[in-house]
A = this chain, B = another copy of it.
């Protein structure tokens, strides 16, 4: 117990998504998981995929995407309008897909016994095959309703998180929220288990919508506080708007 603890210095992984790397003061905590929480349509899936795509395009880092809610074919089709050719990347062994959606034919009885170890094994396999540095788990919420108890959600989340840690990859996990305000997750424990939490909001203000992104916490790393507006458009996918360029230049000069 007093034995010396082996420590790996905390590092950041540049995402390649400019605005994000700015407010994250360098990038996401490397080798760890970051939870992205948001309401339906807030942009979680687009952000997660952009993290993979930019990894490949800008740094040549392969990635794995594991999907719990949307069909892989749909995901590919949905982002093709951004000019992202996921299929090509799959063919080039840059991306591997893990389909963790529950198929319509799956029997109801089996639901209660989701096999987390099997899932982690499939992810590990995919990581190995393409030599992935980045992993995304999209819509992990589809996994949890089957547990009735906050305590169980806590433990399962912790298992997912440590399982991924062992693989040495940097992971983005997207998670559902039903309200823009209040606690981050559905069970009131998710944000405490997670090492890093980013919140996407799609605020309704007098009949207009306003999208914002906030880094709520990074355990062990500094980051910009508060919400930053962002847009989703055909040309660039997600663009985070630094509120004041000068402000950010100053700040980023202190970063790492």
Instruction: Say yes or no: B1 contacts A98, CB within 8 Å.
Output: yes
Please give the distance in Å from A164's CB to the nearest CB on chain B. Answer: 11
Give the chain B neighbours of A219 by CB distance below 8 A: 41, 45, 70, 74, 78
A236 at the interface (CB under 8 A from B): no
Query: Of B69, B81, B208, which one neighbours A192 at CB under 8 angstroms?
Result: B69
As for how many copies of this chain the complex holds, the number is 6
A248 at the interface (CB under 8 A from B): no
Please give the distance in Å from A190's CB to the nearest CB on chain B. Answer: 9
A40 at the interface (CB under 8 A from B): yes
Instruction: Say yes or no: B188 contacts A208, CB within 8 Å.
Output: no
Q: Which residue of B lies closest to A72 (CB)?
A: B5
Instruction: Say yes or no: B208 contacts A225, CB within 8 Å.
Output: yes
A220 with B79, Cβ < 8 A, contacts A1-B126, A7-B87, A178-B182 known: yes
Instruction: Say yes or no: A141 contacts B192, CB within 8 Å.
Output: yes
Which residues 150-175 in A have Cβ within 8 Å of B in the complex? 150-152, 154-155, 158-159, 162-163
A146 and B149 CA atoms in complex are apart in Å by 9
Which residues 206-234 in A have Cβ within 8 Å of B in the complex? 207-209, 212, 214, 216-222, 225-227, 232-234
Instruction: Say yes or no: A226 contacts B197, CB within 8 Å.
Output: no
A81 and B8 CA atoms in complex are apart in Å by 12
A76 with B5, Cβ < 8 A, contacts A151-B146, A179-B182 known: yes
Instruction: Say yes or no: A7 contacts B77, CB within 8 Å.
Output: yes
Which of A79, A87, A207 has the largest number of chain B CB atoms within 10 A? Answer: A207
A108 at the interface (CB under 8 A from B): yes
Instruction: Say yes or no: B222 contacts A208, CB within 8 Å.
Output: no
A142 and B194 CA atoms in complex are apart in Å by 13
A194 and B149 CA atoms in complex are apart in Å by 25
A158 and B1 CA atoms in complex are apart in Å by 26
A60 at the interface (CB under 8 A from B): no
Which residues 171-191 in A have Cβ within 8 Å of B in the complex? 176, 178-179, 182-184, 186, 188-189, 191
Give the chain B neighbours of A74 by CB distance below 8 A: 195, 219-220
Query: Of B69, B80, B154, B221, which one neighbours A7 at CB under 8 angstroms?
Result: B80
A77 and B219 CA atoms in complex are apart in Å by 10
Instruction: Say yes or no: A97 contacts B2, CB within 8 Å.
Output: yes
3 interchain residue pairs of minimum CB distance:
A41-B217, A78-B220, A145-B151
